[in-house]
Amino acid sequence: MQDILVLGDSHAPVFNHPLFKERFPDLSFNVLTVIGATASGLENPNSKTQAYPIFREAVKQTAAKQIIVMLGEVDTGFVIWYRAQKYQESVSAMMYKAISSYANFLAELHESFDVICISAPLPTIQDGNDWGDIANARREVTATQADRTALTLEFNRTMQQFCLKNDIRYIMLDDLSLGDGGIVKAELLNSDHSNHHYAQDQYARLLVEGLSGMV
């Protein structure tokens, strides 16, 4: 049995879906989830989640040769907008700070591991929604779902370009996830309308197809 370490935010538990065991019976996906982990916070020693030291400790202890990383949804859906408002800086400047932090983390991992980066999920919280803890926490960000989606697409394209240049494999799911009107496809939305994560069956299928031939 070959171990694969998965590092990510609250979207990462999709790797516990039975479809992965069915499609990759010889692989064990060891999922480390840090809820609220952000690319922006990786280089911040005072970050609330302390994701970087948690991930770093897991990396020290793992026997895996491959690491899958999935971050960015919290950044593009909330943190980048929030930081731009708080620090009176442009959204673009805040995005590139997040990208720089994420790129440095991936490059560090790539020194010792075969790294696969997953594109950040597209925003699912619709305009005007105030349901659920996540939506409530993000309510002060006034960017529309279309604006947040456009930023996510730009974030993912930029990370893909970085990975291509640095021999890090990247799974881009944007074209498969984008629906009409410049927002996420309806079939990826969770049946629980207060849950901002993708529908797990559909997301697992996308990821399994993307990973085929890579792991």
Does the pLDDT at position 135 exceed 60?
no
Strand-pair category, 27-33 with 66-70 = unpaired
Asked if 72 and 155 touch (Cβ cutoff 8 Å), the reply is yes
136 pLDDT above the threshold of 70: no
CB 104 within 8 A of CB 115: no
Average pLDDT of the residues of the chain: 93
How does residue 137 score in pLDDT terms, banded at 50, 70 and 90? low
Amino acid at 213: G
**Residue 193 confidence (pLDDT):** 81
* Nearest C-alpha neighbor of 214 from the set 69, 128, 110, 115: 115
Q: Which CATH number does 2-211 carry?
A: 3.40.50.1110
- Scanning the structure block, which residue is given the tokens 């949804």? 73
Q: Parse the chain into domains and list their residue ranges.
A: 2-211
Give the C-alpha separation, 184 to 188, whole Å.
7
Strand partners, 31: 6
DSSP 184: B
**Strand ranges in 15-56 using DSSP code E only, listed in sequence order:** 27-33
Q: What is the DSSP letter of 140?
A: T
The per-residue pLDDT for range 76-125, each reduced to its tens digit, is 999 999 999 889 999 999 999 999 999 999 999 999 999 999 999 999 98
